Structure formats: C-alpha cells, structure tokens
Amino acid sequence: MLIYDDVILKDKKTNNYVALGSFDGLHLGHLSLIEKVKELANKNHGNSMVFTFKNHPRDLIRLNEKVELLMTNNEKINILQKANIDILAFRTFNENIMKMQPEDFIKWICKDYNVKGIVVGFNFKFGYKNLGDIEVLKKI
C-alpha cells in the first residue's frame, strides 16, 4: 500500500477510485465501503484508494471541544493494509480545506489524485459547513 502524507499523487497515469470519509474508526460499514471501492477499481483496471484526514475536522471547527478518536492513524494504516487498499491518502484538515465549497472540494480531490470514481457512506457530508451531501456529489 502506498501512503501519501500531505502530498499529491505524482503518477497520474493510473485511474483511482476512492472511498472518502473521516474514518475515525474503521467499523464494518466503513469496511463495506472499502470493499466497494476495491471492486470498482478492479472492474475499471485502476487503483483502490482511501482518502481521509490526519486530524479530525472537528478539531478545527470546534476548537473548544476535544474529539475522542476511536483509533489512531497507525491503527488505520494497519487495517487498510490488511484490506489490500492500493493507496491511502492522508491530508491535514486546515482552514483552507474547511472553507472549500463542496464542488471545489471534489474537484481538488479528483485533480490531486486522478480520481475517476467516488464511494461514500449514506450520511457523507463535505465542503464548507457540510453543504455537500450525496445528492450534491451526484450532480458534481
């Protein structure tokens, strides 16, 4: 498994299919998303990828609250290696990302990681003030 830590994908020759989420704990629901992204990548001769943040977005959004994470990033790495994901992309959630409109957020991920398909959970929210949801994602 390749791990990208706050860097973009340099080799843009391969198509990537990504599971997006904060994945603060990798439970069975998350693992089913990961299986779907692997199936999509295999079907389209691409790479399976998980994109997540190194820090939880709530750490920046709610400065006065301490976020209790279910697992560390190293634990996530171990689970995703066992799940045979091709690429794990960690990014630091920062103020610039926090202020991205939903469409800009998706375009940014697609450009930086050559994403051709996206898999998310039923309650996925993204972009500035969580204005993006599955319906917005479908339109994008």
- Give the pLDDT band (50/70/90) at residue 55: confident
CB-based contact 117:17 (threshold 8 Å) = yes
CB-based contact 33:120 (threshold 8 Å) = yes
Tokens matching residue 137: 């994602």
Average pLDDT over residues 55-81: 79
Specify the pLDDT at position 60: 61
Structural domain boundaries enclosing 83: 2-138
> What percent of the chain has pLDDT above 70?
92
Q: State the CATH number of the domain containing residue 69.
A: 3.40.50.620
The answer to whether the Cα torsion of 40, 89, 135, 138 is positive or negative is negative
Kindly report the pTM of this predicted structure: 0.89
Between 59-73, 97-111, 121-135, the lowest mean confidence (pLDDT) is in: 59-73
User: What's the number of domains the chain is made of?
Assistant: 1
Q: What is the 3-state secondary structure (H, E, C) of the chain?
A: CEEEECCCCCCCCCCEEEEECCCCCCCHHHHHHHHHHHHHHHHCCCEEEEEEECCCCHHHHCCCCCCCCCCCHHHHHHHHHHCCCCEEEEECCCHHHHCCCHHHHHHHHHHHHCEEEEECCCCCCECHHHCECHHHHHHC
Specify the pLDDT at position 102: 97
Q: Which residue has the higher pLDDT, 46 or 63?
A: 46
Average pLDDT over residues 20-44: 90
